[in-house]
């Protein structure tokens, strides 16, 4: 076997090992997030039930925002459009699903896996914590909106956190540097806006939204760590959030495996 072939085979073996470790790390990240989320949720239930300052904060925010919603029906209608259509979890999940399909079309297999696991893992963890905590939603006189299921954590807030993080970290390399700050601003405002609409519409407590942001952020951080670890194993340089998870995505084709020096007639 020639030297270039040996080099290529060694590079392919290294990539396969990195892929296997990447898959294990992705699943491990979801498992660790679950292990952290459940005790956190249980602890928050205890705090919500016994710590008066948090209960006063939740009740006060709900009361004041509900009064505003009743006094300004046009404002409330706008919040419902944003919450139920623009920032609805189904809308954001469809966006992430379409992005994942596009990544598969580009043969960006690992980035597609990261996007899918981050979105699906976040949704699964959110449902699990809701079932464990079983916290009731606010019960307000003359409600302006209704929502089914349990309250903690806010599924809207958690889905917005994971979805906008996926969209941002995948697409950022294709955005001109001058526009990247604007993209970050849109993502942050959207995530904060989702939380505000859920409290203002009276379907979540303030602490529900905080819980959704925290859990969603934990999922993104842990799966992002798994992806960055794969890059290190595969011999790629470290990245930062300012340039996205995989800057190589701007290229038309997947990055080729490293090969040895080209053979010449003299070598043969």
Count of beta carbons in the 10 Å neighbourhood of residue 79: 22
pTM score, whole prediction: 0.78
**Alpha carbon of residue 249 to chain centroid:** 19
Query: What pLDDT is stored for residue 118 in this prediction?
Result: 93
**Could you list the residue range(s) of the whole structural domain that residue 182 is in?**
10-250
List pLDDT tens digits, range 246-264.
877 776 434 434 434 444 4
- Is 262 domain-assigned? no
Query: What pLDDT is stored for residue 177 in this prediction?
Result: 85
- Is 209 domain-assigned? yes
- Is 180 domain-assigned? yes
List pLDDT tens digits, range 110-155.
889 999 999 999 999 999 988 888 888 998 888 888 888 899 999 9
CA angle 24, 219, 58 (to 5 degrees): 155
pLDDT tens, per residue, the chain with 268 residues: 565 655 666 666 666 666 666 666 666 666 766 665 665 666 566 556 767 887 888 889 988 999 999 989 999 999 999 998 999 999 999 999 999 999 999 888 888 999 999 999 999 999 998 888 888 899 888 888 888 889 999 999 999 999 999 999 999 888 888 888 899 999 999 999 999 999 999 999 999 998 899 889 888 888 888 787 777 777 777 776 677 778 777 764 344 344 344 444 434 3
3-state secondary structure of 26: helix
User: What is the rounded CA–CA span in Å between residue 198 and residue 58?
Assistant: 13
Q: How far is CA 123 from CA 10, 167, 196, in A?
A: 38, 16, 20
User: What is the rounded CA–CA span in Å between residue 15 and residue 21?
Assistant: 10
Query: What pLDDT is stored for residue 256 in this prediction?
Result: 39
- Is 124 domain-assigned? yes
Query: What pLDDT is stored for residue 115 in this prediction?
Result: 93
- Is 5 domain-assigned? no
User: What is the rounded CA–CA span in Å between residue 37 and residue 33?
Assistant: 6
- Is 268 domain-assigned? no
- Is 261 domain-assigned? no
For the chain, the domain total comes to 1
Query: What pLDDT is stored for residue 266 in this prediction?
Result: 39
End-to-end CA distance of the chain: 13
- Is 1 domain-assigned? no
């Amino acid at each position: 076997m020639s030297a270039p072939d040996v080099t290529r085979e060694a590079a392919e073996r290294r990539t396969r090992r990195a892929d296997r470790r990447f898959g294990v790390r992705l699943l491990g990240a979801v498992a660790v997030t679950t292990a952290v989320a459940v005790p956190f949720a249980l602890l928050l239930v205890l705090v919500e039930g016994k710590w008066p300052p948090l209960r006063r904060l939740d009740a006060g925010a709900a009361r004041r925002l509900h009064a505003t919603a009743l006094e300004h029906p046009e404002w409330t209608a706008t919040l419902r459009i944003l919450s139920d259509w623009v920032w609805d979890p189904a809308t954001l999940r469809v966006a992430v699903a379409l992005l994942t399909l596009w990544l598969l079309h580009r043969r960006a297999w690992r980035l597609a896996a990261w996007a899918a696991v981050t979105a699906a893992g976040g949704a699964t963890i959110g449902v699990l914590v809701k079932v464990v905590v079983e916290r009731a939603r606010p019960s307000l006189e003359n409600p302006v909106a209704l929502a089914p299921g349990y309250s903690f954590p806010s599924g809207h807030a958690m889905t917005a956190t994971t979805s906008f993080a996926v969209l941002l970290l995948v697409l950022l390399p294709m955005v001109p540097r001058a526009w990247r700050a604007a993209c970050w601003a849109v993502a942050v405002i959207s995530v904060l806006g989702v939380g505000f609409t859920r409290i203002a519409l009276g379907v979540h407590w303030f602490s529900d939204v905080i819980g959704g942001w925290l859990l969603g952020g934990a999922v993104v951080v842990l799966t992002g760590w798994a992806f960055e670890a794969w890059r290190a194993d595969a011999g790629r340089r470290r990245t930062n959030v300012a340039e996205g998870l995989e800057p190589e995505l701007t290229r038309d084709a997947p990055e080729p495996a490293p090969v040895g020096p080209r053979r010449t007639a003299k070598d043969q």
